[in-house]
Amino acid sequence: MLQFFSKYKFFAVVMLVLSAIIITAIYQILKPAPSLPVYQPNMVNAELVDSTKQWVKKYHTIGDFALVNQNGDTITDKDYENKIYIADFFFTTCPTICPIMTDNMMKLQEQLKDQNDVLLLSHTVTPEIDSVPVLKAYAEKKGVNDAKWNLVTGDKKQIYDLARKSYLVAKDEPFGGDYDMIHTENFVLVDAKKRIRGFYDGTNWEEMEELLEDVAILTSEKQ
């Protein structure tokens, strides 16, 4: 009996390894590919969504826009067409969460520097303060890569509408001036079809790591 097992031991080991490989391959084939939700306004905290959009359950996309970046160039939604991008809202004089958000966006810029189909977009919520020269000085101080990351200013109503009607990330400020809002720490992941695929706390690096993983999922979807 021992001689029998000894004679066929090599064969048994080969069959065991081969079986493990086959089972693993079948599992990989049958395992569903990771996917991300497509966020609609009715899925988001109503405080962050304009009342005209809160009921929307499908087909939500980022609206058209035309704003001016740190170099004085007009940036429109066409510049982000068929691109994956990460958007946020900030202002250069913010003393609290914005510096952390900007530092984390800088780290994302570095992590994504070789991915030409992934861009960054930061909107100021105080366009009356953050003029083109102010944004340029801020960009140079922070080390912004102009080819990767636009800091944009422009019409205050347009920025307000983008924050609350498109990106769904700002609270209304009813006791402020016209189109005043309270922006959040949210980073928004937008896919190549202009759909929202994720929200992340821009002050939390662990969520930035999750964001990078989700960018990889969207990149694989495009291929």
- 44-74: pLDDT as tens digits: 999 999 999 999 999 999 999 999 999 999 9
Which amino acids are annotated as binding site, given as ranges? 94, 98, 183
Alpha carbons 151 and 130: distance in angstroms, whole number: 10
The structural domains of the chain, with segments of one domain joined by +, span 1-31, 41-222
Alpha carbons 35 and 220: distance in angstroms, whole number: 10
The string of pLDDT tens digits covering residues 183-212 is 999 999 999 999 999 999 999 999 999 999
Question: Burial of 7 by CB count in 10 Å (0-12 exposed, 13-18 middle, 19+ buried)?
Answer: exposed
- Cβ contact 152:123 at 8 Å: yes
Note the maximum CA span of the chain.
91
Please tell me the predicted confidence (pLDDT) of residue 28.
46
41-222: CATH superfamily: Glutaredoxin (3.40.30.10)
Please tell me the predicted confidence (pLDDT) of residue 218.
97
The string of pLDDT tens digits covering residues 74-126 is 999 999 999 999 999 999 999 999 999 999 999 999 999 999 999 999 999 99
Please tell me the predicted confidence (pLDDT) of residue 58.
96
Which amino acids are annotated as binding site for Cu cation, given as ranges? 94, 98, 183
Q: Give the pTM.
A: 0.85
Please tell me the predicted confidence (pLDDT) of residue 27.
41
Answer whether residue 137 shows pLDDT above 60: yes
The string of pLDDT tens digits covering residues 14-53 is 455 455 455 544 444 544 567 899 999 999 999 999 999 9
CA dihedral of 129, 133, 105, 75, whole degrees rounded to 10 = 100
Please tell me the predicted confidence (pLDDT) of residue 31.
47
Please tell me the predicted confidence (pLDDT) of residue 10.
54
What's the rounded mean pLDDT across residues 151-165?
A: 97
The label of the residue with tokens 């520097």 reads 113
